[in-house]
Structure 1
Amino acid sequence: MRVAKLLRLIVFLLIMFVVGLLVYQYIVFPEYEDALMPTNLHPVVAEKRDDLIVRAADKGITVVITDDFRSSEDQEALYEKGRTVEGNIVTNARGGESYHNFGLAIDFALLTVDGVLVWDMEYDGNGNGLSDWMEVVDIAKEIGFEWGGDWASFKDYPHFQYDYGLSIRDLQRGKRPPEQ
């Protein structure tokens, strides 16, 4: 008799656990519509990129966009650098785990007055006593970009993203930002 009650209790608890997991899955991980992977930079991010370049040029700074949209395959190849391929580790994001893969990120460098591409955060090519790099960062933040240099871990100083409040998980599950 006691064993039967214990067995019923265990079965009841298991059923409640499974139901709880299903509810949790539905609430925390809602299903999104199937969505195609982007194949280029999001139009709003492209506008912000162009605005960044113009505003920096107005301050005498030449910004060069070194990367924007990146396919998952290209991302995976970049991830392998410093791991299975010679070079330095430049990303912790595998293919499909980067905002670049969803057309929501850009990377930049500066073009010196001598025509040399640099990632020098101290460079002051416009001679105003301020770091050109940080002037570009300030402009980018003014127009809504998040800067990878503000991240707590794996700081990505040449990286800007405009994520619409969407996580990589949201994007992987098919959620997409509006086109406007």
Structure 2
Amino acid sequence: MKFTKKIAAAASFAAVLLLVWRALGYPGLDYREDAPLPTGLHPVVREQATELIRIAADKGIRIQLVEDFRSFEAQNQLYAKGRTEPGSIVTYAQGGESYHNYGLAVDFALKSKNGNLIWDQKVDMNGNGKTDWEEVATIAKSLGFEWGGDWENFKDYPHLQMTFGLSIRDLQMGKRPPDSQ
């Protein structure tokens, strides 16, 4: 019986500490539950994406950003494709579950000389024996991006993201990266 009372007392004490910690705004954690949602691409992501386009062009590879910031509503519309709307499944992330929703991701495509977008993963427009997608991914990673083509379960070759060490859960809870690295 004494052991049960000690456990109950410890649990009560922990609950009180948790309530106090929450009332104080979770000291030690760098997020706010009321942090506003971004409305555009994060400035560092924008700057590095612009640099990616420049470096790729210097190597003879033309790329175009085809997507960057995406609202929760737009994300949900994309998620519906292949499920409740016609088309193929292109994402497994609903609104609030994608780095695009927080301005931390971009999608790119290769671009031909006549301006057509190229989705062929094996193309080598600059003729150096390396696929242009792999070359762009290597450049992007050197600039701090993570590449969706490296993912194990769902390869997303056009996708590049900068997480700043934040998980989707962190972002959902209101934590935001600084405006510069």
Pick the TM interval, shorter chain: 0.7 to 0.9
Q: How much is the aligned-residue C-alpha RMSD, in angstroms?
A: 2.3
Offset of 1:121 from its aligned partner? 1.1
Which residue matches 1:173? 173
Structure 2: unaligned runs, 5 residues or longer: none
When the two structures are aligned, how many residues end up with a matched partner?
173
Query: Residues 121 and 19 from structure 1, CA distance in 2 versus in 1: closer, same or farther, beyond 3 angstroms?
Result: farther
Verify: 1:32 aligned to 2:31, yes or no: yes
SS in structure 1 of the partner of residue 66 of structure 2: strand
Structure 1: unaligned runs, 5 residues or longer: none
Offset of 1:66 from its aligned partner? 0.6
Q: Which has the larger radius of gyration?
A: 1
Q: What are the residue-to-residue correspondences of 1:12-91 with 2, within 5 Å?
A: 13=7, 16-17=10-11, 30=29, 32-33=31-32, 34-91=34-91
Per mean C-alpha deviation after superposition, the further-off stretch among 55-64 and 29-38 is: 29-38
Distance 2:92 2:13 in 1: 36
1:35-56 CA deviation, whole Å, 9 max, x = no partner?
Answer: 1000000000000000000000
TM-score by length of 2: 0.85
Offset of 1:88 from its aligned partner? 0.8
Query: Residues 128 and 23 from structure 1, CA distance in 2 versus in 1: closer, same or farther, beyond 3 angstroms?
Result: farther
Query: Residues 128 and 70 from structure 1, CA distance in 2 versus in 1: closer, same or farther, beyond 3 angstroms?
Result: same
Conserved 8 A contact 2:31-2:176: no
Query: Residues 79 and 20 from structure 1, CA distance in 2 versus in 1: closer, same or farther, beyond 3 angstroms?
Result: farther
Specify the code of the residue in structure 2 equivalent to 1:124: D
TM-score by length of 1: 0.86
SS in structure 1 of the partner of residue 35 of structure 2: coil
Verify: 1:161 aligned to 2:161, yes or no: yes
Query: Residues 9 and 100 from structure 1, CA distance in 2 versus in 1: closer, same or farther, beyond 3 angstroms?
Result: same
